[in-house]
Amino acid sequence: KQWYQRRVRADLKSVPTPGPSYFSLNSPAAFTPSTPMDHGIEPTIQNIVSTVNLGCRLDLKQIALHARNAEYNPKRFAAVIMRIREPRTTALLFNSGKMVCTGAKSEEESRLAARKYARVVQKLGFPAKFTEFKIQNMVGSCDVKFPIRLEGLYAQHGQFSHYEPELFPGLIYRMLRPKIVLLIFVSGKVVLTGAKDRNDINAAFECIYPILKNFKKK
């Protein structure tokens, strides 16, 4: 089971390069998107991962010793883990000067949090700059409010999906346009990941909703 969970996590990070046949008008993923007015459902952003280049090398031991809410265990992980409460986020600081910020619920929160971490580093005496801020991943979720026949969905959309209910309860659906990975559960819960823009999350849901509606349990 642990092996499969690692495989699922790896799956979410990689979307296979599509061949020409994937873009056929008869492709299951080429449905006409619904509009938000059709169902009144909009995915909620649950997590944003962003990166920043602080432009200088960091002494991680010094940061861990003098910064609040920071921990550093080089034997386990080669980065300082730092947390702030507002916005509630976590940062990973690497000695190269690269930083990863996770936990924000919006692009603005992610940028604000990253700036706060950079300021902490500056106050510790490092010539840190705030450069190359970039959203690397957005995770959204929603509930379509009806149960889904995952077996039927997998049978007709096998080229886009992976489903092994004995090992993982959700169906993994790799959408190509936009390039998003969706976890679809029989309860109607949907998780969308792999986006770098909020519009891609919304567009992916608008594409998948009519497909899910076709496999609604009766």
What values do phi and psi take at 84, rounded to 5? -130, 160
| Residue-level pLDDT at 16 | 37
pLDDT tens figures, 31-75? 444 444 467 899 999 999 999 999 999 999 999 999 989 999 999
Q: Name the one residue in this structure whose structure tokens are 């007015």.
A: 37
Residue carrying structure tokens 């952003």: 45
Chain centroid, CA 184 distance in Å = 15
> Which residues, 6 or more positions from 127, have their beta carbon under 8 angstroms from its beta carbon?
55, 56
Q: Is the pTM of this model over 0.85?
A: no
Report pLDDT for 40. Answer: 86
Share of the chain above pLDDT 70, in %: 83
User: Are 33 and 203 in contact, with CB atoms under 8 Å apart?
Assistant: yes
Among 85, 89, 120, CA closest to 102? 89
C-alpha torsion 122→125→127→130, nearest 10:
-10
Reply yes or no on whether the pLDDT at 8 is more than 90.
no
d(CA 138, CA 195): 5
